[in-house]
C-alpha cells in the first residue's frame, strides 16, 4: 500500500492503513458524543449544579464521628483481611500458573481461575456475595479477595515467568526436592517484587473497600451512600476527607514496608 | 548391576577402583525429532582424574554433560552411575542420584539474592526436608562443612555477603564449594572458566584438580580453552557434530586432531 512518488525509496513511507484507522476513530468519537447528547449547553448547566454541590460540601460535618469511625475501621479490616487471603491463595496459584515451571495441564486451569477472578468489577462481585452471604463485611471481604486473586495472581505469575532459570537449574542439579527448589531458587528471585505487588494490591483494596459498601457489602461505603441520598453533603465531605487521609496514610505505610524489605 | 556400597570386602574395593565410575552407552539426544545433537555416545570414565571435553560451540558438549544428570532428558541410551541406569530412574530416585553428582556452571548459576552461606547450603537441599531448609535449620555438620569449604576456597570473610556482590572468580569458587557440599562422587563442569580471565581460569582449574585429588572423584569438564585442557586434563575427548572424534591423552592431541575437531586450520597458525 505504499504511495507512488517520483522516488522509489521513501525514508518514511506513509502508512495508509494507520491513517484510515485514525480517521475512523475520530469519526466514531464524534458520533458517540452526539449519540449520548454530550452537548456544551448541558455541560454548562452541569457546572452550575456542580458549583452548588461543592459549596454545600463545606464546612465538613464531623458531628457523627462515631458512625464515621465505625465505617472506616470496618473498611480497613475488609481491605487487610481480603489482601491477606488474596496473597495466601494467589501465591501458590501463581506458581501453578507459571509456564516455565509447570506443565500445561497445571498452568491453564490456574490461569483460567485468575481470568475469571478479573472478569468482573469488585462491586459486581460484591453484589453476588451480598446475595450469597447477606449484607455485611463478609461479602466485602470475599469480593475483594476475588479481586486480589485475579490481579496478584497475574502479576506474580509474570514475575515467576521472568526469573533466571539458570539458578533454578543449579539448585535442581543438587537433587533438591521441588519445594526446596521453589524456596531457594524461585522465591529469592521474586520476593522483592512480590512485596511491591502486595503493597500495591493492599492500596487498591483500601480504595475498593470504601466502595463495596454502596451495595451493602460493609464498610464506609454504605454510610457514604446513605449520606448522599439524604443530601447530607457536609457529612459526605467529612467521609471523603477521612478516606483521603486513610489512603495517604496507607501510601506512607507501604513506603515504610518496602524500605523494611529493602525493595 | 549391584548398587555400590561403601561397606565392602577389600577385594571388592580393589575391583571397584578399577570399574568405571560412569559409563555412557549409545547416548543420543534430539531436541527436535530427526535432528540429533548427540549421536550415540559411548564413553567410560575412570573413578579418578580430570577428563576435558573439547569441541566447537553447538556440538553437544553441554547437552552431553546435562544428559548425565538428566537436566536434559536423553532421547535414548544409558547412563550407568554407581550401578544404576540414571535414564530409567523415577523422579525420586533421580533426585537421590543427583545428590552425588556435583555441577559447576559457566555463569556460576548462584542464587544471586541469597548469601554465600545459603548458596553453599543449597548443596545439602537433597538431604534436608523442604520445611527445615526453608527455616534454614541445617544439621550442624553441614554448616561446619560449609565454613570449612569457604576456608578452602578462600572466601571465609564473605559468608554473609550476597552472591551478586562477588566478582566472577569469587562466584565460581562459591559454585565449586556448593558442588563440594554435596560430597560428590562425580563433578560435572560446564565451561567453568569461559566467563573468567586467564589467571582466574587457571586458579579455578587448579582448585578443581586439588579437590578432585583430595576427595577422590572424577571430573568431567567441558572447555573451550585447549591449552587449559592440555595443562590440567588426564584425558581429552574431542567432539564434533555430536560424535566423539578424539579420545586419548592430552599429550597425543596433535594439530591434525584439532583440525578434525574444530574444522579449518587458519586459526591454528
Instruction: State whether residue B81 sits within 8 Å of chain A by CB.
Output: no
Instruction: Give the distance from residue B155's alpha carbon to the nearest chain A alpha carbon, in angstroms.
Output: 20
Angle separating helix axes A104-119 and A137-161, nearest 10 degrees: 140
Instruction: State whether residue B130 sits within 8 Å of chain A by CB.
Output: yes
CB-nearest to B126 from A169, A174, A183 is: A174
SS (H, E, C) chain B: CCCCCCCCCHHHHHHHHHCCCEEEEEEEEEEECCEEEEEEEEEEECCCCEEEEECCCCCCHHHHHHHHCCCCCCCEEEEEECCEEHHHCCHHHHHHHHCCEEEECCCCCCCCCCEHHHHHHHHHCCCCCHHHHHCCCCCHHHHHHHHHHHHHCCCHHHCCCEHHHCCHHHHHHHHHHHHHHCCCCEEEEECCCCCCCHHHHHHHHHHHHHHHHHHCCCEEEECCCHHHHHHHCCEEEEEECCEEEEEECCCCCCHHHHHHHHCCCHHHC
CB contact under 8 A, B111 and A188: yes
pLDDT given at position A262 = 67
Give every CB contact of residue B175 below 8 A, 6+ residues apart in sequence.
A170, B104, B105, B108, B109, B110, B192
CB contact under 8 A, A173 and B98: yes
pLDDT given at position B2 = 44
Instruction: State whether residue B96 sits within 8 Å of chain A by CB.
Output: yes
CB B250 within 8 A of CB B229: yes
pLDDT given at position B7 = 45
Which residues of chain A fall short of a pLDDT of 50?
1
pLDDT given at position B126 = 93
CB B64 within 8 A of CB B58: no
Instruction: State whether residue B105 sits within 8 Å of chain A by CB.
Output: yes
Instruction: Give the distance from residue B122's alpha carbon to the nearest chain A alpha carbon, in angstroms.
Output: 6
- Output the tens digit of pLDDT for each of chain B's 269 residues: 444 444 444 444 444 456 889 999 999 999 998 888 999 999 999 998 999 999 998 888 999 999 999 999 999 999 999 889 999 999 999 999 999 999 999 999 999 999 999 999 999 999 999 999 999 999 999 999 999 999 999 999 999 999 999 999 999 999 999 999 999 999 999 999 998 999 999 999 999 999 999 999 999 999 989 999 999 999 999 999 888 999 999 999 988 899 888 887 777 76
CB-nearest to A171 from B96, B97, B122 is: B122
pLDDT given at position B269 = 67
Instruction: State whether residue B122 sits within 8 Å of chain A by CB.
Output: yes
This prediction's pTM: 0.79
pLDDT given at position B17 = 53
pLDDT given at position B4 = 46
Instruction: Give the distance from residue A35's alpha carbon to the nearest chain B alpha carbon, in angstroms.
Output: 57
- Taking contacts as CB-CB distances below 8 angstroms, the residues of chain A near B109 are 166-167, 169-170
Task: Quote the cell numbers at residue B152.
Answer: 578452602
Based on its alpha-carbon atoms, the radius of gyration of chain B, rounded to whole angstroms, reads 19
- Taking contacts as CB-CB distances below 8 angstroms, the residues of chain B near A181 are 125
- Taking contacts as CB-CB distances below 8 angstroms, the residues of chain B near A191 are 113
pLDDT given at position B180 = 95
Name which of A174, A185, A189 to mutate to probe chain B: the one with the most chain B Cβ atoms within 10 A of its Cβ: A174
Based on its alpha-carbon atoms, the radius of gyration of chain A, rounded to whole angstroms, reads 25
Instruction: Give the distance from residue A63's alpha carbon to the nearest chain B alpha carbon, in angstroms.
Output: 51
Mapped onto helix, strand or coil, the DSSP state of residue A214 is: helix
CB B253 within 8 A of CB B53: no
Torsion of CA B60, B66, B68, B70, to 10 degrees: -130
pLDDT given at position A202 = 87
CB-nearest to B109 from A167, A179, A192 is: A167
Instruction: State whether residue A171 sits within 8 Å of chain B by CB.
Output: yes
Report how far residue A114's alpha carbon sits from residue B263's, in angstroms, rounded to the nearest whole number.
53
Burial class (CB in 10 A: 0-12, 13-18, 19+), A200: middle
- The residue to which cell 525420586 is assigned: B92
Its ipTM equals 0.86
Task: From B176, B260, B255, B262, select the one nearest B224 (Cα to Cα).
Answer: B262
Amino acid at each position: 500500500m505504499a504511495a507512488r512518488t517520483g522516488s522509489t525509496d521513501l525514508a518514511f513511507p506513509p502508512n495508509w492503513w494507520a491513517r484510515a484507522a485514525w480517521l475512523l476513530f475520530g469519526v466514531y468519537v464524534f458520533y458517540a458524543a452526539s449519540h449520548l447528547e454530550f452537548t456544551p449547553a448541558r455541560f454548562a448547566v452541569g457546572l452550575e449544579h456542580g458549583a452548588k454541590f461543592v459549596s454545600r460540601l463545606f464546612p465538613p460535618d464531623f458531628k457523627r464521628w462515631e458512625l464515621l469511625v465505625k465505617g472506616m475501621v470496618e473498611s480497613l479490616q475488609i481491605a487487610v483481611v481480603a489482601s491477606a487471603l488474596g496473597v495466601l491463595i494467589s501465591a501458590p496459584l501463581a506458581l501453578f500458573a507459571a509456564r516455565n515451571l509447570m506443565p500445561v495441564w497445571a498452568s491453564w486451569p490456574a490461569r483460567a481461575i485468575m481470568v475469571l477472578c478479573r472478569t468482573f468489577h469488585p462491586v459486581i462481585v460484591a453484589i453476588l456475595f451480598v446475595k450469597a452471604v447477606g449484607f455485611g463485611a463478609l461479602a466485602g471481604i470475599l469480593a475483594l479477595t476475588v479481586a486480589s486473586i485475579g490481579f496478584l495472581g497475574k502479576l506474580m505469575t509474570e514475575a515467576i515467568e521472568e526469573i533466571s532459570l539458570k539458578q533454578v537449574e543449579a539448585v535442581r542439579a543438587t537433587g533438591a526436592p521441588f519445594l526446596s527448589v521453589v524456596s531457594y531458587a524461585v522465591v529469592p528471585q521474586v520476593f522483592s517484587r512480590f512485596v511491591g505487588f502486595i503493597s500495591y494490591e493492599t492500596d487498591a483494596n483500601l480504595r475498593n473497600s470504601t466502595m463495596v459498601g454502596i451495595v451493602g457489602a460493609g464498610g464506609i461505603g454504605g454510610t457514604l451512600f446513605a449520606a448522599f441520598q439524604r443530601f447530607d453533603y457536609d457529612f459526605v465531605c467529612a467521609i471523603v476527607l477521612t478516606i483521603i487521609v486513610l489512603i495517604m496514610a496507607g501510601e506512607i505505610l507501604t513506603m515504610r514496608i518496602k524500605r523494611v524489605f529493602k525493595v | 548391576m549391584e548398587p555400590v556400597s561403601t561397606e565392602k570386602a577389600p577385594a571388592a574395593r580393589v575391583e571397584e577402583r578399577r570399574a568405571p565410575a560412569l559409563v555412557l552407552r549409545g547416548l543420543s539426544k534430539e531436541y527436535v525429532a530427526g535432528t540429533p545433537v548427540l549421536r550415540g555416545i559411548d564413553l567410560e570414565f575412570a573413578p579418578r582424574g580430570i577428563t576435558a571435553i573439547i569441541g566447537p560451540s553447538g556440538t553437544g558438549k553441554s547437552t552431553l554433560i546435562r544428559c548425565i544428570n538428566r537436566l536434559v532428558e536423553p532421547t535414548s541410551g544409558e547412563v550407568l552411575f554407581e550401578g544404576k541406569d540414571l535414564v530409567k530412574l523415577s523422579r525420586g530416585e533421580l533426585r537421590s542420584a543427583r545428590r552425588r553428582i556435583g555441577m559447576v556452571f559457566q555463569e556460576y548459576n548462584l542464587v544471586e539474592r541469597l548469601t554465600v552461606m545459603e548458596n553453599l547450603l543449597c548443596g545439602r537441599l537433597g538431604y534436608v526436608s523442604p520445611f527445615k531448609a526453608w527455616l534454614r535449620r541445617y544439621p550442624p555438620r553441614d554448616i561446619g562443612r560449609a565454613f570449612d569449604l569457604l576456608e578452602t576456597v578462600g572466601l571465609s570473610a564473605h559468608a554473609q555477603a550476597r552472591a551478586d556482590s562477588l566478582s566472577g572468580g569469587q562466584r565460581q569458587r562459591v559454585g565449586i564449594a556448593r558442588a563440594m557440599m554435596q560430597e560428590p562422587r562425580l563433578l560435572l563442569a560446564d565451561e567453568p572458566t569461559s566467563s573468567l580471565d586467564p589467571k582466574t581460569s587457571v586458579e579455578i582449574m587448579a582448585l578443581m584438580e586439588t579437590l578432585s585429588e583430595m576427595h577422590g572423584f572424577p571430573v568431567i569438564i567441558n572447555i573451550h580453552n585447549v591449552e587449559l585442557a592440555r595443562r590440567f586434563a588426564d584425558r581429552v575427548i574431542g567432539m564434533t557434530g555430536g560424535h566423539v572424534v578424539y579420545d586419548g591423552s592430552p599429550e597425543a592431541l596433535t594439530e591434525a586432531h584439532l583440525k578434525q575437531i574444530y574444522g579449518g586450520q587458519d586459526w591454528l597458525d
